[in-house]
């Protein structure tokens, strides 16, 4: 079986690759379980100061797996709420890691995928990446990612982005503040990421950990209650006939 979330560690740098390229790295219960497993290892690791999260293939992460968010014939076995809760818990765990987390957004970062980009401490991408929160276009509510978008770009811009739906280019996301450093093209993203990683690993590990820990305290990042509440709200909207109709139409 392929490793859905591929974790490798080289010296002070860990890399986590979402590895479901044929599904544009969409978040399924299996992929999220693998991501939780990787983060668990990182929580116990010593000596890692930087984690880079990226996607295999052309996409970063296309958001929730559409097959799992459709209710189908049997509501009792529908994994929707569990999927959202797993994502919610993952965001807080990722944020709580002691190392600096970089999202290297190599391609489409949609919905929950774009949420992960906002959870990272630093987000790098390229001009042509497609980034955004089209949830409302599909009758969905981006409640899990909302707290992270608000922290990343501020409440005013977050409101605009989350309520307007649609997707934007990497260039637009950079102007908005969602992307911190922008490469001119996809080919230049890897070197840009490596330069950033080089800078980050030059920092004193104790100083970095102390700074990150204070930042998490100041913005209330590790408060799980709001994202779990978001997961419940998001599941409720997802289970509504409106959303299910819009999603079915999208799939066919």
Residues of the shown chain interacting with other proteins in the complex, contacts defined by CB under 8 A: 100, 118, 121-123, 151-154, 175, 177-178, 180-181, 196, 199-200, 202-208, 210-215, 217-219
How near is the Cβ of 151 to other proteins at its closest, in Å? 5
- Residue closest to 129 by CA, chosen among 112, 110, 146, 115: 110
How near is the Cβ of 84 to other proteins at its closest, in Å? 23
Measured from the CB atom, is 175 or 184 closer to other proteins?
A: 175
How near is the Cβ of 214 to other proteins at its closest, in Å? 4
Measured from the CB atom, is 31 or 176 closer to other proteins?
A: 176
Residue ranges of the alpha helices (H) in the chain? 29-44, 66-69, 80-96, 112-119, 146-153, 155-164, 170-176, 189-201, 205-218, 224-238, 241-251
Strands 100-105 and 50-55: parallel
Measured from the CB atom, is 166 or 177 closer to other proteins?
A: 177
Measured from the CB atom, is 209 or 232 closer to other proteins?
A: 209
How near is the Cβ of 13 to other proteins at its closest, in Å? 14
Q: At which residue do the structure tokens 């809760």 appear? A: 85
How near is the Cβ of 188 to other proteins at its closest, in Å? 16
Query: b vs e for 115-146, b when ≥16 Cβ sit within 10 Å of the residue's Cβ?
Result: bbbbbbbbbbbbbebbbbbbbeebbbbbbbbb
Orientation of helix 146-153 relative to helix 155-164, angle to 10°: 130
Measured from the CB atom, is 163 or 210 closer to other proteins?
A: 210
């Amino acid at each position: 079986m392929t490793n859905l979330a591929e974790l490798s560690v080289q010296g002070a740098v860990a890399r986590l690759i979402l590895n479901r390229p044929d599904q544009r790295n969409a978040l399924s219960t299996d992929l999220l379980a693998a991501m939780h497993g990787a983060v668990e290892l990182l929580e116990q690791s010593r000596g890692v100061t930087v984690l880079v999260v990226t996607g295999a293939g052309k996409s970063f992460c296309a958001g929730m797996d559409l097959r799992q968010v459709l209710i189908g014939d049997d509501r009792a076995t529908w994994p929707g709420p569990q999927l959202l809760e797993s994502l919610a818990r993952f965001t807080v765990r990722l944020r709580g890691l002691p190392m600096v987390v970089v999202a290297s957004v190599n391609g489409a970062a949609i919905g929950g995928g774009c949420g992960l980009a906002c959870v990272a401490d630093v987000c790098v991408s390229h001009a042509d990446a497609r980034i955004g929160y089209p949830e409302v276009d599909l009758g969905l509510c981006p409640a899990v990612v909302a707290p992270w978008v608000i922290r990343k770009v501020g409440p005013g811009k977050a409101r605009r982005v989350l309520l307007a739906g649609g997707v934007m280019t990497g260039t637009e996301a950079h102007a908005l503040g969602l992307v911190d450093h922008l490469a001119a093209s996809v080919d230049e993203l890897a070197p840009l990421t490596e330069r950033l990683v080089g800078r980050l690993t030059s920092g004193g590990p104790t100083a970095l950990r102390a700074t990150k820990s204070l930042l998490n305290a100041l913005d209330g990042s590790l408060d799980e209650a709001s994202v779990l509440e978001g997961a419940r709200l998001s599941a409720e909207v997802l289970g509504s006939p409106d959303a299910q109709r819009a999603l079915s139409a999208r799939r066919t």
